[in-house]
Each structure stands twice: as structure tokens, then as C-alpha cells.
């Protein structure tokens, strides 16, 4: 479990996160929904260790990582896919993937890469192609694949659906679900409430740096505030029997 308690982050005098607490369990998808500027990326950055905390603590499977540097968190199996993907554009797919494993044990490199290729077969087909020549959806797959090369127990995904067509988002989210079903705890930061709530177990709503609501994702899909803010007032059909 990732247990974040009372996280506060400021940029100068601007308070971007204030007293935010949340948990991410292994095997679950935990969605954080929020509008532009709500503080979602700051939350991801705080958990990844790339912005300093003003207050709060972060525990990873019971160990205090509040002051652990970012690279140490990756070695402790907390991997991040930043907004905008952060790929090395002129490097090949294969080289981008290889860089994802640089802080981890290299023994099972080949089997980890095969696992990424089986999840995203298009990466295998394009392994020698430069990252910048791929479509937006493929680049997002590569960014997730690179994070998986660190063999994470927890994966932080910052708005992976941004700029992708609904069909590609559905494909990507199916892969995210498969990653969680293999036991990885996924924190999915999103504005796409419609599709993200369908695949998630839990959800948090962030507004102006504060958590304003939380609960099982299935319940939040019918929350009037979520429907008004994120779903354009659209009512969702009840989930299919046996579905999420």
C-alpha cells in the first residue's frame, strides 16, 4: 500500500496541495479526478519525490519514504509515467524501454521486456523505430512500458488519456486494468471520468489542492457532483451485471 498522509506542497506562496491523504492498494486502480490546475500533477510529483513536501508523510509498504530521493523510490518499485510522457524522442523504442530498467536488477531484463511486448504488441513491431515517429497512443504505451521495465509494485500515471481518441483511451485503459490485475497498485490521475471510473476500484476528487470527495469508483459514477462536473450532466447507465 502507498499511504500518503497530510501532504502539502507550495510553489513559492502558491499552495498547490493542502493536507491531502490517500491510499493506493496493490492490485487496485485508484483514480484521482480533478480539473486543470486542481493539483493532480503536483500530487504525482510529490509521491514520485520530484517536488519537496511542506508537510506530510509517505509510506510504501510500511516503510517511510517521505525523504527518499526520486531514483530511490524507483528502486523501491514505485514508477511514474509523467504527463507528456517524458520519452527520449530520438531514441528507439527498445532504447527507451532499456532506460526504464536502469535502477533495477538486470537479471530478468529480457523477460520483463517480453512482458511489455505482450501487453503492447505494437511496441514489439516498432522496436527499432524512433519514439518521436510513433503516434500519440503508441508513445503513451511506450511511456507505460518504460515504467514497467522498472518492475514496479506501484505505478503512477499522470493523465495518460490526454489527447487520445476515445477508442485509443479504451485500449490503453484495458492495458492499465491488466497491469493492476497482475498485482500492481495503480494511481491514475485523470480528467476523463467517464472511462477511468469504469476501470477503477477507488476514486478521489481533487479541487484547488484539496480532496473534496472519495469512495468506491462505482459509487462516484453516480455522484451528482461528478456527473455535473466531469460528465456534462450525463447520466451513466448502471454497470452491466458482473462488470465494474
DSSP 239: P
38 near ligand ATP (CB under 6 A): yes
Which listed range, 22-30, 40-48, 117-125, 132-140, lies at the site for ligand ATP (CB under 6 A)? Answer: 40-48
CA distance 75 to 137: 27
Q: Please return the burial class of 71, using the count of CB atoms within 10 Å of its CB with bins 0-12, 13-18 and 19+.
A: exposed
40 near ligand ATP (CB under 6 A): yes
Among 7, 16, 142, 187, binds ligand ATP (CB under 6 A): 16
Q: Which is nearer to ligand ATP, 11 or 232 (CB)?
A: 11
Q: 100 φ, ψ to 5°?
A: -65, -15
Q: Which is nearer to ligand ATP, 149 or 205 (CB)?
A: 205
CB 182 within 8 A of CB 152: no
CB 158 within 8 A of CB 44: yes
DSSP string, 52-69: --SEEEEEETTEE-TT--
Q: 14 φ, ψ to 5°?
A: -85, 120
Among 6, 27, 37, 239, binds ligand ATP (CB under 6 A): 37
80 near ligand ATP (CB under 6 A): no
Q: How many residues bind ligand ATP (CB under 6 A)?
A: 12
**Among 218, 233, 232, 230, which Cα is nearest to 33's?**
230
Q: Which is nearer to ligand ATP, 14 or 234 (CB)?
A: 14
Closest distance to ligand ATP from the beta carbon of 53 (Å): 14
Among 30, 41, 96, 151, binds ligand ATP (CB under 6 A): 41
**Among 214, 238, 224, which Cα is nearest to 33's?**
214
Instruction: Please give the helix or strand (H or E) that residue 198 lies within, else none.
Output: helix 193-199
Among 24, 31, 33, 42, binds ligand ATP (CB under 6 A): 42
Q: Which is nearer to ligand ATP, 129 or 195 (CB)?
A: 195
Closest distance to ligand ATP from the beta carbon of 117 (Å): 30
161 near ligand ATP (CB under 6 A): no
Which listed range, 33-41, 69-77, 194-202, 219-227, lies at the site for ligand ATP (CB under 6 A)? Answer: 33-41
Instruction: Please give the helix or strand (H or E) that residue 217 lies within, else none.
Output: helix 217-220
145 near ligand ATP (CB under 6 A): no
36 near ligand ATP (CB under 6 A): yes
Measure CA 126 to chain center. 24
CB 48 within 8 A of CB 80: yes
User: Which residues form the interface with ligand ATP (CB under 6 A)?
Assistant: 11, 14, 16, 34, 36-42, 83
Amino acid at each position: 500500500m502507498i499511504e500518503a498522509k497530510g501532504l502539502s506542497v507550495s510553489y513559492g506562496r502558491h499552495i498547490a496541495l493542502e493536507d491531502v491523504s490517500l491510499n493506493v492498494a496493490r492490485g487496485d486502480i485508484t483514480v484521482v479526478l480533478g480539473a486543470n490546475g486542481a493539483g493532480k500533477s503536483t500530487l504525482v510529483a510529490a509521491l514520485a519525490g520530484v517536488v519537496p513536501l511542506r508537510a506530510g508523510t509517505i509510506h510504501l509498504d510500511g516503510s517511510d519514504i517521505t525523504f527518499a530521493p526520486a531514483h530511490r523510490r524507483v528502486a523501491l518499485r514505485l514508477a511514474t509515467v509523467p504527463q507528456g510522457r517524458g520519452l527520449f524522442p530520438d531514441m528507439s523504442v527498445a532504447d527507451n524501454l532499456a532506460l526504464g530498467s536502469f535502477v533495477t536488477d538486470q537479471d530478468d531484463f529480457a523477460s520483463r521486456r517480453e512482458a511489455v511486448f505482450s501487453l503492447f504488441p505494437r511496441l514489439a513491431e516498432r522496436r527499432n523505430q524512433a519514439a518521436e515517429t510513433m503516434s500519440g497512443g503508441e508513445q503513451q504505451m511506450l511511456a507505460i512500458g518504460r515504467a514497467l521495465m522498472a518492475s514496479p509494485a506501484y505505478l503512477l500515471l499522470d493523465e495518460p488519456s490526454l489527447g487520445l481518441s476515445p477508442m485509443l483511451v479504451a485500449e490503453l485503459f484495458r492495458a492499465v486494468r491488466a497491469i493492476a490485475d497482475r498485482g500492481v497498485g495503480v494511481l491514475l490521475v485523470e480528467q476523463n471520468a467517464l472511462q477511468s471510473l469504469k476501470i477503477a476500484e477507488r476514486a478521489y476528487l481533487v479541487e484547488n489542492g484539496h480532496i473534496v470527495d472519495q469512495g468506491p469508483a462505482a459509487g462516484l459514477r453516480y455522484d451528482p457532483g461528478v456527473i455535473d462536473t466531469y460528465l456534462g450532466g450525463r447520466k451513466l447507465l448502471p454497470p452491466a451485471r458482473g462488470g465494474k
